[in-house]
Structure 1
Amino acid sequence: MLETAMYNFLLGVPRAALIWLALMFLAVLAIAGLVARPSWNLSVGRLRRRDAALRRQRLTVQAQEADRYAEEVAVAAERAEARARRCREDWLAAQNEAEAAWQAYEKLAALTPRMAAAAAMPVPRTPHTPAEYAARERYLHRAATAAYWRGELSVLELGDVLAHRHGWDPRRHPVEQEVVLHRAARAGLRARYQRATEREQAAWRAAEMATLAAGSLRAEATVAAGQVRQLRHQLAGVGWRPVPVPAPPRQSEAPTQLLPVRVA
């Protein structure tokens, strides 16, 4: 019995030793894991902080660029709106000028039937003396000067009358002179109205283009300001406080109010 017990004991010692060695190896691994885990956590934390810093830096650069662009577009929109208002004022002035020219032409054209009747009548006979010709010349000068002050003749046309150029003959009878003056004034006012109409049309096109450009820039400025606010919100989400973003450009007038409406 003693020999059997010793034999069994000797056979169990290696097995027990192997079990103890395995248990010690597992304990060593567990201790090593516990020791290495804090350093691994520190590495992961540093990586996360570095990624957050890189993201903040990227968003900050984007926000600065977007802020600068939004400010530039806002200034351009304000200038475009000011130019649109000036163009509208110019168009209104040109429209008033064209309307005044048309009214002057209509007022003079109303006298056309009477002038046509006067031209159809025979010219009164008067003595052809130097005094008569001098009187006719004075009458022509007075009538042309009065037509100039009424706006029916231009400065150049008045100069032609006083200098007796381009067919202005002071020896004609006053009735003939009135007819010729009326025709010249009517033609001049008609041409003046046409020039005023062309200026009014050009001013209207310029005002329309300026208004559309102002509206486009205003919309672009609004979009740019929205992008800056979005980037600022993203920066606030990662723990960053960016520079305050300028508000969108103030709209002093609506685009429909700036856009000129032509009156036929």
Structure 2
Amino acid sequence: MRTVLSAVLPDVPRAAAIWLSLLGVVAVIVAGLLLRPGRLRFDAGARIRQAAMPSQLELAEEERERARYAAEVAVAAERATATARRRRAEWLAAQEEVEQVWQAYEAAEADVRRLAAAAALPLPRTARTPAEYADRERYLHRTALDAYWRRELSVEQLSDVFAHRNGWDPRRHPVEQELVLRRAVRDNLLARQQAAREREQAAWRAAELAAAAARSLRDEAFAATRRPAEEAPSVLPLAESPRSSASEQTRELPPVARGRAAVAAY
């Protein structure tokens, strides 16, 4: 018995020290939990929200896609702006053509009024010989051809002159022939002015559409270069704290805007 005690007693202080160390560690842990109880608390809502948020890799990929989209929209906006400028130049050219043709028509109308007043006077008598008729025919053909080269007569009207149809009579007096010619020129210029007016209207509509498309793409390009608004920190209807009521836990969050729809290419 004395031998057993002598063998056990030397290890008692060592065991006591170990137990005291373990008790000290437990006491420190318990004190930490008592002083800061929220450190080791399990927050399911926070864990789920953190898992639902995109990772850094996903954010980088989204940023690259946004930059690529912004570059594409910027290129489309530049092309649309160039198209709008070209359409506007075409419209201005069409408008100038309308003005020029209208001025030519007004001059032709003034010539018709002047020649109509002259034709009302007695015409000088000339010998009605084959040579006179030949001269009148040559005069009619020459003046009609000159008017055609000045773009005052159409091809169809010139063909009628040489075919002596639709009122073209080479036997008339030169004054009468000039009056008929001026009336034909006036009618042709009026038709040209109406056609030019229709082209001007079509060019104006095309310019307006191109300008609107360019403005839309410029706005889209500007919006694409800006960073989207920060999203709401919580995307799930989870409780912020255990004290939240059941109505607050199930409340739906407002939708978060995620950019603007792409506009087809101005």
Give the equivalent residue in structure 1 for 2:165.
165
Deviation at 1:61, TM superposition (A): 1.9
Deviation at 1:95, TM superposition (A): 1.1
Contact 2:115-2:175 within 8 A present in 1 as well: no
Give the Cα separation in 2 of the matches to 1:104 and 1:181. Answer: 15
Q: 1:207 to 1:24 in 2, by over 3 A?
A: closer
Give the equivalent residue in structure 1 for 2:26.
29
Deviation at 1:219, TM superposition (A): 0.8
SS at match of 1:111: helix
Give the equivalent residue in structure 1 for 2:128.
128
RMSD of equivalent CA atoms? 3.1
TM-score when normalising by structure 1: 0.65
1:167-198 deviation per Cα after TM superposition (whole angstroms, max 9, x unaligned): 32212221211110011111111111111111
1:132-166 deviation per Cα after TM superposition (whole angstroms, max 9, x unaligned): 21111001011112222333212332232123233
- In structure 1, give the amino acid aligned to 2:215: G
Q: Determine if the alignment matches structure 1 residue 153 to structure 2 residue 156.
A: no
Structure with larger RCO (C-alpha < 8 A, sep 6+): 1
SS at match of 1:166: coil
- In structure 2, give the amino acid aligned to 1:26: L
Give the equivalent residue in structure 1 for 2:90.
90
Give the Cα separation in 2 of the matches to 1:116 and 1:23. Answer: 134
Give the equivalent residue in structure 2 for 1:249.
none
Q: Determine if the alignment matches structure 1 residue 78 to structure 2 residue 75.
A: no
Contact 1:118-1:179 within 8 A present in 2 as well: no
1:80-130 deviation per Cα after TM superposition (whole angstroms, max 9, x unaligned): 001001101111111111111011111222223221212323444433322
Deviation at 1:131, TM superposition (A): 1.3
SS at match of 1:227: coil
Deviation at 1:223, TM superposition (A): 0.6
Give the Cα separation in 2 of the matches to 1:135 and 1:97. Answer: 37
Q: 1:218 to 1:28 in 2, by over 3 A?
A: closer
Unmatched 5+ stretches in structure 2: 1-16, 31-38, 41-46, 231-266
211-220 or 156-165: which moved more? Answer: 156-165
Q: Determine if the alignment matches structure 1 residue 138 to structure 2 residue 138.
A: yes
Contact 1:109-1:186 within 8 A present in 2 as well: yes
Unmatched 5+ stretches in structure 1: 1-19, 34-39, 42-46, 232-264
